[in-house]
C-alpha cells in the first residue's frame, strides 16, 4: 500500500528523485540541569570554549569541501553561522553563566539559548524568525560537540533521499556535495533556508512534510515529487518505473536547455521578451553570464551593510558596483538602494522605540530618508558607477509620492555635487521605483509619471496585500500569488506604465515560476527578472507561447474571483 505525504515542493530544475530513505537526526538537543563542584568551574569553561572552536572548525571544513564554483550566496549561509559562533552573545555569555552559577557548559548554553529565543519570539518580523532558526542550528552544533557526537553529516548518502525534522544550511550544502538525491524535512516554508538552498542547488526537496520522520522508515524506497510537493513510500513497480522515466526526461530537458543560452527570447508570434537576473553579491555575475541573462534587473546591495562593525564608505560601494557593471559589459545593471529593516537587519540602523512589527516600521526608503547621510553615500557611488556602464538606480518600498519626491531631490542634489566636483557620471541615469505595497500599486499612475521605470516586487506585494508572513510555516498556505487582489494590483501597475509609456518589469519569485509566467505575459509584461537558475527554463517556455493569445485569455481570467477556477484557468494558459 502506498503512503503519500504532502508538503511544499522545492523544484530547482530537478523535480523528481527516487532513492532509499536516510534518516538524519537534527532536532534540538536539550540539556539537563547539572551543577559543578567548585574546583571544576574553569575546567568547564575550557571545555565549553573548545566546543565552540570545534563547532567552528567543523563549519570551516564543510566550507572547504564545497566546490569553488558554488554561488557566493550559498556559501553565505555557512559564513553567517561562523560569524554567529564568534558573537559574544553565544561564545562569551555562557562562560559568565558557568562562572556565576556554577552550572555545566550544556546547561549554561541551554539557558542562554532560552534567553535569546524569548527575545526572538516577541517579534513578528520574518527575518528575525529566520535568525532564530540560525541560532538553533549553531547552538545544536555546539551541543553536539559537548555531547561527544559526530556532528558530521552521514557520508553514505549518494543517490539517497535524506529525511529529517530540519536541516542546517551547512547540512544542506554538504548533502548536495555528497550526492544526495533529494531532501524531505518536517518543517520549513517556501522561504526557509532549506528551500532557498535546495532551489539554488537544483536539489529536489519537499519541506513542511509533517510526520515524515515518524511515518517513513530508514532504507525504504521513496519517490520525491518536488513539482507537486509529495513524498511516496511503498510504491509498486509500475509507479516506480513511471517516476524513473520522468527523471530521465528531466535530465534530457536540462541538457536541452543549455542550447538556449544564447537563443533569442521571442514568443511564437514574434514578441520579444527581456529576461534579466536577480543577484545578491558581485561574485554572482559569473553565474548571470552563464545563464544567458540580458542584464541584471535587481542587484540587492544589503550585503555591504551586514555582519560588520562599521558602515561601508563611498569607495567600498563604488568598487562593489564597478565589479558588477564591468562584469556585465554593455548589459544593463539595476542597482536597488539599501532595503534594511524587516527581513534584513544591520548593526547600524536606528531602532524605532516601541516598534513591535519592523516589517511595518522604519525600513528601506523610510530608513534612507531618515538617515540621509547613509543614503547619500550610496547614491554617490551608484552615480559614479553609471559613468562606467548601463546603470539604473531603483528605490525600494515606496508608499507615497512625498517619499518619491524627497528621494529624487536627494539624487538630483548629488548629481549636481558630483558635477561640481568634476567626477564623471551619467546625469541621465534612469531612476526607477519598486512597487511592492498595495498603496504604491493602487497609485501607480503617480509613480509612473515621476520615475523612468517601475519594477513590481511580488514577494512583499503579496505579503502586504494578504497580511501573510511569507516565512511563517503556520500560514504559508495563505501566501497565494494567484489571489485576485494580487493579480488586479499587478495588472494595474502594468496598465499605468503603458499609459505613461514607461518600462515595467517584475522581479519577485513569481517572475521565475513557470506556473505563473504565461499569466505575467498575458497581463502585458515584457520584462522579467529572476534567479539565474530559472532563466533558461523561462526562455524555453516563452518560445512556445503566443503573446496575443495569452492576452485574450488573461483579460477574461482576471474577472474570475473563485480561487479554484482561477487556478485551473492559469494552468490552462501553459497548456
Find, among 249, 212, 250, 202, the residue nearest to 232 by Cα: 212
| Whether residue 368 lies in the annotated active site | no
Give the C-alpha separation, 216 to 3, whole Å: 9
Residue with cell 534612507: 368
540: three-class secondary structure by DSSP: helix
Choosing from 137, 193, 317, 483, the catalytic residue is 193
Give the C-alpha separation, 373 to 413, whole Å: 13
- Cβ contact 104:44 at 8 Å: yes
> Which residues, 6 or more positions from 72, have their beta carbon under 8 angstroms from its beta carbon?
280, 281, 283, 284
Residue with cell 553565505: 76
Residue by residue, DSSP assigns 211-233 as THHHHS-TT-EEEEETTTTEEEE
Please give the backbone phi and psi of residue 21, each rounded to the nearest 5 degrees, phi first.
Answer: -80, 135
Residue by residue, DSSP assigns 454-474 as EEE-HHHHHHHHHT--TT-GG
Find, among 509, 544, 551, the residue nearest to 526 by Cα: 551
| Whether residue 193 lies in the annotated active site | yes
Length of the chain measured in residues: 575
Give the C-alpha separation, 565 to 434, whole Å: 30
Please give the backbone phi and psi of residue 344, each rounded to the nearest 5 degrees, phi first.
Answer: -145, 135
Q: Where are the alpha helices (DSSP H) in 208-353?
A: 212-215, 237-258, 285-291, 314-327
| CB crowding 35-47: b at 16 or more within 10 Å, else e | ebeeeebeebbeb
> Which residues, 6 or more positions from 509, have their beta carbon under 8 angstroms from its beta carbon?
190, 458, 459, 481
Residue with cell 505563473: 516
- How many of the other CB atoms lie within 10 Å of CB of 118? 9
Long-range interactions of 178-183: CB distance < 8 A, separation 24+: 178/153, 180/22, 181/17, 181/18, 181/19, 181/224, 182/17, 182/19, 182/206, 182/224, 182/226, 183/207
- Cβ contact 151:141 at 8 Å: yes
Give the C-alpha separation, 81 to 322, whole Å: 29
- Cβ contact 516:574 at 8 Å: no
- How many of the other CB atoms lie within 10 Å of CB of 56? 20
Give the C-alpha separation, 103 to 558, whole Å: 63
Choosing from 235, 368, 497, 507, the catalytic residue is 507
- Angle at which helices 126-146 and 105-121 pack, to 10 degrees? 170
28: three-class secondary structure by DSSP: coil
The cell for 323 is 565589479
Give the C-alpha separation, 274 to 297, whole Å: 10
- The catalytic site residues sit at 193, 507
Amino acid at each position: 500500500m502506498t503512503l503519500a505525504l504532502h508538503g511544499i515542493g522545492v523544484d530547482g530544475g530537478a523535480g523528481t528523485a527516487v532513492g532509499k530513505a536516510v534518516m538524519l537526526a537534527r532536532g534540538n538537543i536539550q540539556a539537563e540541569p547539572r551543577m559543578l563542584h567548585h574546583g571544576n568551574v574553569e575546567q568547564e569553561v575550557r571545555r565549553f570554549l573548545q566546543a565552540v572552536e570545534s563547532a567552528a572548525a567543523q563549519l570551516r571544513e564543510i566550507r572547504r569541501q564545497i566546490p569553488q564554483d558554488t554561488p557566493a550566496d550559498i556559501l553565505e549561509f555557512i559564513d553567517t553561522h561562523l560569524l554567529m559562533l564568534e558573537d559574544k552573545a553565544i561564545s562569551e555569555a555562557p562562560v559568565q553563566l558557568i562562572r556565576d552559577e556554577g552550572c555545566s557548559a550544556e546547561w549554561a548554553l541551554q539557558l542562554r539559548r532560552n534567553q535569546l529565543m524569548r527575545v526572538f519570539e516577541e517579534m513578528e518580523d520574518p527575518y528575525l524568525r529566520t535568525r532564530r532558526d540560525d541560532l538553533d542550528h549553531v547552538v545544536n552544533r555546539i551541543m553536539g560537540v559537548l555531547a561527544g557526537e559526530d556532528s558530521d553529516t552521514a557520508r553514505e548518502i549518494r543517490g539517497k533521499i535524506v529525511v529529517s525534522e530540519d536541516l542546517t544550511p551547512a547540512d544542506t550544502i554538504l548533502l548536495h556535495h555528497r550526492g544526495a538525491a533529494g531532501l524531505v524535512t518536517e518543517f520549513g516554508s517556501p522561504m526557509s533556508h532549506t528551500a532557498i538552498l535546495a532551489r539554488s542547488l537544483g536539489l529536489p526537496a519537499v519541506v513542511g512534510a509533517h510526520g515524515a520522520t515518524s511515518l517513513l522508515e530508514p532504507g525504504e524506497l521513496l519517490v520525491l515529487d518536488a513539482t507537486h510537493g509529495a513524498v511516496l513510500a511503498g510504491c509498486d513497480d509500475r509507479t516506480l518505473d513511471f517516476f524513473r522515466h520522468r527523471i530521465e526526461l528531466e535530465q534530457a530537458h536540462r541538457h536541452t536547455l543549455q542550447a538556449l543560452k544564447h537563443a533569442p527570447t521571442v514568443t511564437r508570434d514574434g514578441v520579444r521578451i527581456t529576461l534579466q537576473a536577480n543577484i545578491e553579491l558581485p561574485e554572482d555575475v559569473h553565474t548571470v553570464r552563464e545563464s544567458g541573462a540580458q542584464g541584471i534587473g535587481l542587484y540587492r546591495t544589503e550585503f555591504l551593510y551586514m555582519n560588520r562593525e562599521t558602515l561601508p564608505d563611498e569607495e567600498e560601494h563604488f568598487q562593489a558596483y564597478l565589479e558588477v557593471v564591468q562584469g556585465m559589459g554593455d548589459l544593463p545593471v539595476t542597482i536597488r538602494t539599501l532595503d534594511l529593516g524587516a527581513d534584513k537587519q544591520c548593526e547600524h540602523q536606528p531602532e524605532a522605540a516601541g516598534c513591535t512589527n519592523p516589517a511595518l516600521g522604519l525600513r528601506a526608503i523610510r530608513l534612507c530618508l531618515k538617515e540621509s547621510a547613509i543614503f547619500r553615500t550610496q547614491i554617490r557611488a551608484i552615480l559614479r558607477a553609471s559613468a562606467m556602464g548601463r546603470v539604473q538606480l531603483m528605490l525600494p518600498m515606496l508608499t507615497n509620492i512625498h517619499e518619491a519626491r524627497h528621494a529624487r531631490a536627494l539624487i538630483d542634489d548629488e548629481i549636481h555635487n558630483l558635477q561640481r566636483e568634476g567626477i564623471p557620471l551619467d546625469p541621465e541615469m534612469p531612476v526607477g521605483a519598486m512597487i511592492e505595497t498595495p498603496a504604491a500599486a493602487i497609485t501607480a499612475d503617480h509613480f509612473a509619471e515621476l520615475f523612468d521605470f517601475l519594477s513590481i516586487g511580488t514577494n512583499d506585494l503579496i505579503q502586504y496585500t494578504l497580511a501573510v508572513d511569507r516565512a511563517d510555516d503556520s500560514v504559508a498556505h495563505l501566501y497565494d500569488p494567484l489571489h485576485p487582489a494580487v493579480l488586479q494590483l499587478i495588472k494595474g501597475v502594468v496598465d499605468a506604465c503603458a499609459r505613461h509609456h514607461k518600462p515595467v518589469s517584475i522581479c519577485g519569485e513569481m517572475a521565475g515560476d513557470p506556473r505563473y509566467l504565461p499569466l505575467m505575459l498575458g497581463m502585458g509584461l515584457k520584462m522579467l527578472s529572476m534567479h539565474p537558475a530559472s532563466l533558461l527554463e523561462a526562455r524555453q517556455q516563452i518560445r512556445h507561447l503566443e503573446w496575443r493569445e495569452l492576452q485574450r485569455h488573461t483579460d477574461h481570467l482576471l474577472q474570475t474571483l473563485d480561487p479554484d477556477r482561477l487556478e485551473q484557468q492559469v494552468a490552462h494558459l501553459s497548456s
